[in-house]
Amino acid sequence: MNLIPAIDLIEGKCVRLTKGDYTQMKVYNQDPLEMALMFQDAGIKYLHLVDLDGAKAQHIVNWKVLEKISSKTKLIIDFGGGIKSDKDIEISFNSGAHKITAGSIAVKNKPKVIEWIARFSSEKIILGADVNNEQIAVSGWQEQTTINLFEFLEEYIQNGVKYCICTDIAKDGMLQGPSIDLYKKIVKKNASLHLIASGGISSVNDLEQLKEAGLYGAIIGKAIYEGKISLKEISMFNQ
């Protein structure tokens, strides 16, 4: 299982929210590059970089941070937040993203995302599925839909999606453990999908459970910043 640290960006700083609430923001580092270099020095290969300003503004905002990290590290970066247009996706790849995460746009403009999968390949486009009670939420989790998660996944799998980051909003930033049962259900129904867990991970035991459940990867955020999981433990888990 691939372990992927997360850096969430607001005003160019490394922050974490709780349940996606912008009023519950904590700044962990003024310089995201410093964090990225720490991850790289610990032997970590991947980075999940999220432009929270972009998610709110509906277009990329923090692309210069992406450019800086991609040019000064060897991390394989997946970038998301505010990618809504051909211009946004081109800026992302030109700024050094290896993959992009299509979140809200995958709900609001399916033809565009399906076009991107055909144009850039399923290796470059990760589906972002943010859920609350098995229903999709969009726009930085500010907007709840009535779209069923499993129907949403099925449609995209039929259109070539291979990778999906699934975040349970109720778990995000709570450090109370991930939605193991939900992930097991997704894996069981969609054997071909490379599923990446996000939200609630708080210990190495959580990681072991996700690995046992058949997850392709796990994104770790607040657990790193709050010292619940050390970079050394992540490095050892990856070996």
What's residue 147's pLDDT?
94
CA distance 223 to 229: 6
CA distance 162 to 76: 17
The whole-chain average pLDDT of the chain stands at 92
Domains of the chain in sequence order: 2-238 (3.20.20.70)
CA distance 18 to 25: 7
Q: Report the pLDDT averaged over residues 56-84.
A: 96
Q: Report the pLDDT averaged over residues 105-118.
A: 96
CB 161 within 8 A of CB 191: no
pLDDT digits (tens, 9 = 90+) for 223-234: 999 999 999 999
- Please list the active-site residues: 8, 130
pLDDT digits (tens, 9 = 90+) for 180-207: 999 999 999 999 999 999 988 999 999 9
Q: Taking the model in full, what pTM does it have?
A: 0.93
Q: How confident is the model at residue 123 (pLDDT cuts 50, 70, 90)?
A: very high
Say which residue, 68 or 21, is predicted with more confidence: 68
Phi, psi of 90 (to 5 degrees): -65, -40
CA distance 35 to 16: 13
CA distance 83 to 15: 19
pLDDT digits (tens, 9 = 90+) for 2-19: 999 999 999 999 998 877
Among 168, 239, 182, residue whose Cα is nearest residue 215: 182
Burial class (CB in 10 A: 0-12, 13-18, 19+), 134: middle
- Secondary structure element (H or E) that encloses residue 42, with its range: none
